[in-house]
Amino acid sequence: MIVSAKLASLKHIKPHEFAVRFLFGGLCTMIAGLIASHYGPRIGGLFLAFPAIFPASASLIEQHEIAHKRQAGYDGRMRGRVVAGIDATGAALACVGLMAFAAIVWRALPRHGAVAVISAATFAWLLLSIALWLLRKSRLLRHKTHPAFEN
C-alpha cells in the first residue's frame, strides 16, 4: 500500500495544536477578506494562496518527530527537520494543483454556477496533486536519489 490513513494518529495531537491551526486559519481567511475589501480583488486574490498554517504545521511536525525520537533515546532534531522538509516538498507539489484550482475558478466562474465551479476546481486540485505526487514517487523509486524517499 503506497498511501495509508490512520485515525489513530489523531490521538497524538494535543487540543492546543488544533486550536493553533483553527486560529491561524480563521485569522488568515478574515484578513484575506479585509484586504480584498480595502485594496480590491487583485491584491486580495494573492492571499487566497497565502501559506496560512504552513509555519505552524511544519513546526508541529518537527516537534512530534523530536518527541518520538527522544522516546527512543535519540536527539531527533535532524530527523524532525527532514520530516518537515518532506512535508514541504508535498506542499510544493500541491501548489501546482492550487494554480489549476485558481485558473479554473478564474475562467469558469463568470459563466457557470459558483458551487459547480468551486467543486470542479477542488477536484482538479486533488487529482493533479495526487498525480504529481505519484509521478515523483515513481521517479524516486527508480533512481533512489535521497534516503528520505521512504517517507
Could you say whether residue 76 binds another protein (CB under 8 A)?
Answer: no
Q: Considering the rule CB under 8 A, would residue 147 count as an interface residue with another protein? A: no
Encoded amino acid at 108, one letter: A
Smaller CB distance to another protein: residue 69 or 109? 109
Three-state DSSP at 112 gives coil
State the nearest-atom distance from the C-beta of 91 to another protein, in Å.
Answer: 4
In angstroms, what is the minimal distance from the CB of 69 to another protein? 14
Instruction: List Cβ neighbours of 52 (8 Å cut-off, separation of 6 or more).
Output: 24, 25, 28, 29
The size of the chain, in residues, is 151
Contact flags string 79-118 toward another protein, x per CB under 8 A: -xxxxxxxxxxxxxxxxxxxx-xxx-xxx-xx---xx--x
Reference 49, options 112, 108, 103; nearest CA is 103
Name which of residues 31 to 60 contact another protein (CB under 8 A). 32-34, 36, 41-55, 57-59
Give the helix/strand (H/E) hosting 46. Answer: helix 41-46
Closest CA to 86 of 9, 137, 149, 139: 149
Examine residue 131 and tell whether it contacts another protein (CB under 8 A).
Answer: no
Does residue 68 interact with another protein by CB under 8 A? no
Query: From the CB of 73, what's the least distance to another protein, in Å?
Result: 21
